[in-house]
């Protein structure tokens, strides 16, 4: 078996992830969540996996989907709860933080956290150098008076992010199903269960523009607010609200 790719910081990142996750789960007032996207879902005469049940329209034209849904998930590992959001627009930094904003009233009412510890992959829209993502998270922390602790998994190791287990269950749940409509995709997502708990599923109809970013000067101001862990600065970031 071929060994997984590693970077120089991989071991240090994993050491931090394991310690930070354990402390988050053991500390009163800290709620750990896991976020990530999933592969796009073709809507139309397709079985899950993207294969057309109708072949091609002509020898040189692929069968086109009626729509393409992009999934984004927020998973609460300590509670086995998942919240799945779908959009036909772009999964951007703004989309992700808007989903967190949508979930916040429930989080605040039930858990009353002083800190949210967030497991994530360092993807293009939610990495800690993505200026719009960091801006929105700083604004979130200040508005809701909650600290954020970003705990990224190292490159090439996204399978360890807890929400990936939810995506695996969903994939098995709708494997072989004909995803001929948006309603069918949303309905199947609602009927899956993870450890006996059904997810909350929402279709977001807002349009999101790609490429939104801050100026370098504005990002420098964000950097003055956040705190990066020395040695693994890109993968471990704390955002205070004060």
Mean pLDDT value of segment 2-14: 87
pLDDT of residue 49: 61
| pLDDT surpassing 70 at residue 52 | no
Mean pLDDT value of segment 3-11: 87
Backbone angles phi, psi at 209, to 5 degrees: -90, 135
- % of the chain residues with pLDDT over 90: 86
pLDDT of residue 176: 85
| pLDDT surpassing 80 at residue 175 | yes
| pLDDT surpassing 70 at residue 51 | no
Residue 199 · residue 167 · CB < 8 Å: no
DSSP 62-130: PPPPSEEEEEEEEEETTTTEEEEEEESS---HHHHHHHHHHHHHHHHHHH--SEEEEEEE--TTTSTT-
pLDDT of residue 136: 98
Handedness of CA 92, 94, 100, 102 (dihedral sign): negative
Rounded distance, CA 85 to CA 106, Å?
15
- The set of residues, in sequence order, having a beta carbon less than 8 Å from that of 90 and lying 6+ positions away, is 70, 208, 209, 210
| pLDDT surpassing 70 at residue 72 | yes
118 or 60, higher pLDDT: 118
Q: What is the mean pLDDT of the chain?
A: 93
Q: What are the extents of the domains in the chain?
A: 10-239
Question: Any idea which architecture 10-239 has in CATH?
Answer: 2-Layer Sandwich (3.30)
């Amino acid at each position: 078996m071929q060994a997984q790719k590693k970077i120089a910081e991989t071991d240090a990142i994993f050491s931090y992830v394991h310690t930070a996750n354990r402390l988050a789960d053991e500390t009163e007032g800290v709620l750990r969540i896991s976020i990530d996207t999933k592969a796009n879902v073709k809507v139309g005469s397709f079985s899950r996996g993207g294969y057309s049940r109708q072949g091609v329209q002509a020898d040189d034209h692929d069968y086109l989907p009626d729509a393409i849904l992009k999934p984004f998930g927020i998973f609460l590992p300590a509670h086995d709860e998942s919240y799945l959001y779908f959009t036909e627009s772009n999964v951007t930094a703004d989309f992700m933080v808007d989903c967190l904003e949508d979930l916040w009233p429930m989080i605040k009412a039930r858990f009353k956290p002083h800190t949210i510890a967030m497991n994530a992959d360092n993807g293009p829209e939610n990495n800690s150098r993505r200026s719009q993502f960091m801006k929105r998270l700083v604004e979130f922390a200040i508005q809701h008076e909650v600290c954020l602790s970003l705990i990224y998994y190292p490159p090439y190791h996204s399978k360890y992010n807890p929400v990936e287990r939810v995506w695996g269950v969903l994939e098995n749940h709708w494997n072989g199903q004909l995803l001929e409509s948006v309603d069918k995709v949303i309905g199947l997502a609602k009927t899956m269960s993870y450890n006996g708990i059904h997810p909350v599923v929402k279709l977001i109809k807002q349009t999101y523009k790609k490429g939104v970013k801050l100026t370098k000067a504005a990002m420098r101001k964000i950097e003055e607010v956040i705190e990066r862990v020395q040695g693994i600065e890109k993968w471990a970031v704390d955002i205070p609200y004060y």
